Amino acid sequence: MTIKILAVDMDGTFLNSKKQYNKARFLKQYEQLKQNNIHFVVASGNQLAKLITYFPEISHEIAFIAENGAHVVDAEQELAFAHLSQHQFIEILKAINPSYTSTMVICGKQSAYVHSSMNTEDYAKVARYFEKLTVIDDFYALNDLVCKITFTAQENESFAIFQDFQKQSFVEDKVLVPVSSGFGFIDLILPDQHKAHGLKLLLQKWQVEPNQVVAIGDNNNDIQMIKAVGYGFAVENAVEALKAVASYATVSNEHEGALEVIDLVLQRQPPFA
């Protein structure tokens, strides 16, 4: 089977714990991917502005599935930006426990936004993941299109917060869906606007079949994408839920697992032989 698309998650998959990757090795691989007419796709919970910073040499010609699938761009052309209506956003703000205000990140099209009550430790953590980050005093006064709401939490708090959201009417009514993206973050995303949906838009544009796609991930927010493709890989450090649905495995993000898979594709080694 001829591979036409190679899609990678970033944090915990393509990036190591220092949020870096072997750029020299990858850029050589990327040139070969292009020569073989294989599209390289970045699929991440991160905002587009942050993802672009990782690929300054090629960001103008590759595809991004950002914000867990809500924002899809190919070669700087926007294909989709799914967002809440203003009414939905206000009603959700009213429903969320005010004690979460200082831990919230409102993900908008122009920027991400945190409340001025966020402590310095949480702000430093959030700033690692958001290239565009604005501090505001009132979420109700926000003038932007909101595609996702993220919460930063201590690992021992994540489950309780997740359970709390499950009881919210906006989750029961499927206005937003909670998903863990790892690293102490819980995302409230638009239903069916996950990474697999973003990938589907690219498949339609490029006229590619799912069995011609390789995807690599590590966390719960990669599950739909891994299940939707012909060759779904879990890195060694992936959560068990992802390993359970991935047909294939590679070494950890610390050992360049994603780049190892790219080599298998380029060299037509099993399972691509």
As a whole number of angstroms, the distance between CA 257 and CA 253 comes to: 5
> Which residue numbers are catalytic?
9
Whether 72 is covered by a domain: the verdict is: yes
| Domain shared by 236 and 219, yes or no | yes
The answer as to whether 35 is a domain residue is: yes
15 & 99 share domain? no
What pLDDT, in 10s, does the model give residues 7-49?
Answer: 999 999 999 999 999 999 999 999 999 999 999 999 999 999 9
Together in a domain, 171 and 204: no
Say yes or no to pLDDT of 126 above 90.
Answer: yes
Final residue belonging to a domain, choices 167, 189, 211: 189
Q: Supply the pTM of this predicted model.
A: 0.92
> Would you say 176 and 150 are in contact if contact means Cβ atoms under 8 Å apart?
no
Calculate the average pLDDT of the chain. Answer: 94
Q: Are residues 63 and 150 in the same domain?
A: no
Do 102 and 156 belong to one domain? yes
Q: Look at residue 213 and tell me whether its pLDDT is greater than 70.
A: yes
Residue 219 lies in a domain: yes
Q: What is the pLDDT of residue 185?
A: 86
User: Which CATH number is 219's domain given?
Assistant: 3.40.50.1000
Indicate if 119 and 199 belong to the same structural domain: no
Residue after which a domain boundary falls, among 166, 189, 212: 189
CA distance 188 to 157: 16
Q: Which domain holds residue 206?
A: 5-81+193-266
Listed residues 132, 166, 189: the one ending a domain: 189
Number of domains in the chain: 2
Measured distance CA(114)–CA(135) in Å, rounded: 5
**What digits encode the pLDDT tens for the residues 216-245?**
999 999 999 999 999 999 999 999 999 999
Q: Is residue 272 part of a domain?
A: no
CATH number, position 161: 3.30.1240.10
> Which has the closest alpha carbon to 259: 9, 6, 11, 14?
14
